[in-house]
Amino acid sequence: MTADDSQYMIVGGCAAGMAAAHAIREHDRQGTVTVISEEPCAPYFRPLIPFVISGKNQWEQMALEGCGPYTGSNIFVRTHSRVASVNPAARSVFLQDGTCLGYQKILFATGSRPHMPPDIKGVDASGVFALRTLAHAKAMAQRVEQTRHAVMLGGGLLNLKTAFALLERHLKVTLVVYSPEVLSQLMAPEDALLIRKALENAGLTIKTGVSATGILSDSTGVTGVTLDDGSHLACQMVCIGKGVRPNVDYLENSGIALENGIVTDRYTACNLPDTFAAGDVAITHEPISGAPISTALWTNAVEMGRCAGQNMAGIKTAYTGTFGILNATQVADEPFVSMGVVHTENSDCQVFRQATKTTYRKMVFDADGTRLIGAVFVGDITNAGLYRYVIRERLPVSGFKQQIIDHTLNYGYFMR
């Protein structure tokens, strides 16, 4: 090894990469760990970036190192370093500035980038954002000063949180969603009614069933959005939340197996020796169906990153898989959890719903009714982690199915 070699090389300084680095350090106190990040600042807690827009947080308060699962020491983070290519046969990484770095084992944790729909014209105008990085959040915060109305394209969770950050800056905010309801990837339209009500009560204007066809601009930047129903929204800012794409361009011709991401086995390993992948960029498996899937959640990325780090350090650890849907958060002060199979239209699943003025619950069982495969909680999320355990472990539920339906299940059922 040369001075530029590292025993453990990690490409990507976000959740999966940093979690892996610290998991390695737990098991190997001496091996050199190098994290390569293309961002100019130290790794940070990405879910907090909307608070940079609202002004609730400064970026210095979002540092990863030294908190939670990121408490390892002597981990070298090389910022402002973009990887151009990788040669696994030579165990070498080439940076865009021409630097060549060697390694013994490598983890790819480069995450994903926003998808900019090609059918929307004018996305390159000043004042158009796709919130993904701290730099994006800082730019949006600056644009607020010349914005009266912001239009959010897409009803996903990040766009909703960004919308609320802008509402806190006293902007008018309109959410444009092609789907029948907000959060359509996380729950069915009828599951989201309480959340929709809370959003509107908080001041968010929501237009469903329409999509943007173009973004208008002049020398000042964005001036409006045109919709496919023929209407027009005057605005000075647009935020696009239309999904993500894995960052794998640097692996072209590397020999690493790619299929809408980096293909991994149950131990987070790639197809070539001593190569691993974790986080948004990795293709793993869905624990209910076993089907290939990628993760776009911070918590999943941390869990998968820790698993990869343990495997790199020689502690063979199977990754238990990523739910197709798994989210626990709140919007407009409305807490919710959505996990497993929740879209049940035209399926043979057994579905049980319970709704009040302030809460909503849906339990989804397989066709035989013997296993819980999905759940949605809105308003009251008590013991949601327990139901996640039942789903993930594929437990037979014959002995406590009615308790699941009635929402009276407790940990005592698993201690008998």
Please give the Cα distance from 24 to 106 (Å, whole number).
Answer: 12
Place 415 in a pLDDT band, splitting at 50, 70 and 90: low
Q: What is the mean pLDDT of the chain?
A: 91
Handedness of CA 400, 300, 9, 23 (dihedral sign): negative
Q: Which amino acid is at 294?
A: S
Give the mean pLDDT of 307-332.
86
Per residue in 258-285, pLDDT (tens digit) is 999 999 999 999 999 999 999 999 998 8
Which pLDDT band holds residue 5 (cuts at 50, 70, 90)?
Answer: confident
What is the mean predicted confidence (pLDDT) over 19-41?
93
Class of the 341-414 domain?
alpha beta
Residue pointed to by tokens 């981990």: 75
- Topology alike, domains 5-113+245-312 and 341-414: no
For residue 93, the tally of other CB atoms under 10 A from its CB is: 25
User: In the prediction, which pLDDT does 377 show?
Assistant: 95
pLDDT band at 4 (very low <50, low <70, confident <90, very high): low
Question: Measured between alpha carbons, how far is 70 from 148 in angstroms, rounded to an integer?
Answer: 39
SS3 label, residue 338: strand
Q: In whole angstroms, how far apart are CA 155 and each of 71, 182, 298?
A: 35, 5, 19
**133 vs 60 pLDDT, higher one:** 133
Query: Per the CATH hierarchy, to which homologous superfamily does domain 116-242 belong?
Result: FAD/NAD(P)-binding domain (3.50.50.60)
Percent of the chain exceeding pLDDT 70 equals 96
Residue 130 confidence (pLDDT) above 70: yes
What pLDDT digit, counting tens, does each position of 357-404 carry? 999 999 999 999 999 999 999 999 988 889 988 998 889 999 899 999
Instruction: Give residue 328's pLDDT.
Output: 80
Burial class (CB in 10 A: 0-12, 13-18, 19+), 280: buried
**Distance between start and end Cα atoms, the chain:** 55
CA angle centred on 180, ends 175 and 185, rounded to 5°: 85
**pLDDT for the residue numbered 243:** 85
Dihedral of alpha carbons 172, 176, 181, 183, sign: negative
Q: What is the pLDDT of residues 205-244, one digit of tens each?
A: 999 999 999 999 999 999 999 999 999 999 999 999 988 8
CATH fold of the domain at 5-113+245-312: FAD/NAD(P)-binding domain (3.50.50)
Q: What is the 3-state secondary structure (H, E, C) of 114-147?
A: ECCCCCCECCCCCCEECCCCHHHHHHHHHHHHHC
- pLDDT tens column, 61-98: 787 776 666 666 788 999 999 999 999 999 999 999 99
Bridge partners of 354? 361
Whole-angstrom distance, CA of residue 348 vs CA of residue 359: 25
CA distances from 188 to 6, 183, 212, 310 (A): 47, 8, 22, 37
Average pLDDT over residues 148-158: 93
* CB of 302 closer than 8 Å to CB of 19: yes
Nearest-angstrom CA–CA distance, 18 and 20: 5
Q: How far is CA 355 from the centre of its chain?
A: 28
Residue 1, pLDDT above cutoff 60: no
The DSSP output letter for 63 is: B
| pLDDT the model gives residue 71 | 64
DSSP state of 258: B
pLDDT tens for 324-368 read 567 788 888 899 999 889 999 989 999 999 999 999 999 999 999
Give me the DSSP letters along 348-412: --EEEEEE-SS-EEEEEE-TTSSBEEEEEEES--TTHHHHHHHHHTT-B-TTTHHHHHHT---GG
* 233, 149 contact by CB (below 8 A): yes
Q: Does position 3 have pLDDT exceeding 50, yes or no?
A: no
pLDDT of residue 370: 95
Phi, psi of 94 (to 5 degrees): -110, 125
Domain extents in the chain: 5-113+245-312, 116-242, 341-414
3-state secondary structure at position 232: strand
pLDDT at 2: 40
- Comparing 58 with 173, the larger pLDDT belongs to 173
Strand pairing partners for 176? 153, 207
pTM of the model: 0.87
Considering only 41-45, 250-254, 324-328, which range has the smallest mean pLDDT?
Answer: 324-328
Contact residues for 44 (Cβ-Cβ < 8 A; gap 6+):
59, 62, 63, 64, 134
pLDDT above 80 for 159: yes
Contact 196, 228 (CB under 8 A): no
Residue 329 has which token pair? 């958060």
Cα 216 to Cα 232: distance, rounded to the nearest angstrom: 10
Above 80 in pLDDT, residue 322? no
Which tokens go with 247? 């960052």
